[in-house]
Copies of this chain bind each other. A is one copy, B any other.
Amino acid sequence: MRSAIARIGEERYHSRHPFHRLLHGGGASRGQVQAWVLNRFYYQASIPLKDAALMSKSRDREFRREWRRRIDEHDGRGDNEGGIERWLVLAEAVGLDRAAVARHEGILPITRFAVDAYVQFVRERSLLEAVASSLTELFAPKIHEERIAGLLRHYDFANDRTVSYFQRRLEEAPGDVEFGLDYVLRNARSRAEQEACLAAVRFKTDLLWAQLDGLYHAYVEPAHPPPGAFVPGAP
């Protein structure tokens, strides 16, 4: 299982997407960075909904007490302002209007479809598949490191404060994913369950990838932003 999951990451994780190569390599324009921050925020803001739906499937109090930490990490608790707030700091830093981003104004329909499909998957599928779909976090530290380095090197807006979302995820994600991986390895016993878990990881890589397909088609030359979507530089 462990190596099958790792292979999915190597073949399908969105670190390989051309939009990310553009972004991390310094080739993205200000408008492209803005479009990415705006659209990706819909994903960030939906994560607590996904995690609450997942928690609502578990009759195990210890499991819920572990999983709710993810919600706290995004929504904030106490001194921790939370990942959603940190992403809004990034949005302001790239020149977007905070309130408009918070309302998800101008996001691509593809973004909405892909992210909503994720929340719906977690609502409808088994707890085991829902947990498995979180395991793309195994692949996240590498992309976060690349991204932090790439943004700091190439873009004026990037500094310790504005990339703090990614820095913080580097600290949080390993503990989260260790629990999730352990859960999947212990509970996916039958071949059918293991296949369902691998399919859940592939599904997750699909929805991450599709978000970047949408961005690339809409904002990389020849750019084709769909009707109603964010247009860089528009008033």
* Chain A residues near B (Cβ < 8 Å): 45-46, 48-53, 55-59, 61, 64-65, 68, 71-72, 75-77, 82, 84, 119, 123
Contact = CB atoms under 8 A, between A and B. Distances in A.
Contacts of A61: 45, 48, 75-76, 82, 84
Nearest to A50: B56
B56 A56 contact: yes
Contact of A64 (B58, B65, B71): B71
Secondary structure call for the A interface: helix
7 contacts: A45-B61, A48-B61, A49-B55, A49-B59, A55-B71, A56-B119, A123-B123
Given A61-B75, A68-B71, A75-B61, A52 B52 contact: yes
A20 B119 CA distance: 41
A71 B57 CA distance: 14
A61 B81 CA distance: 11
A72 to B, nearest CB: 8
A45 B59 CA distance: 7
Given A45-B59, A59-B45, A52 B64 contact: yes
Contact of A52 (B53, B72, B77, B82): B53
A72 B56 CA distance: 13
A56 B49 contact: yes
A56 to B, nearest CB: 4
A46 to B, nearest CB: 8
Contacts of A75: 61, 64-65, 68
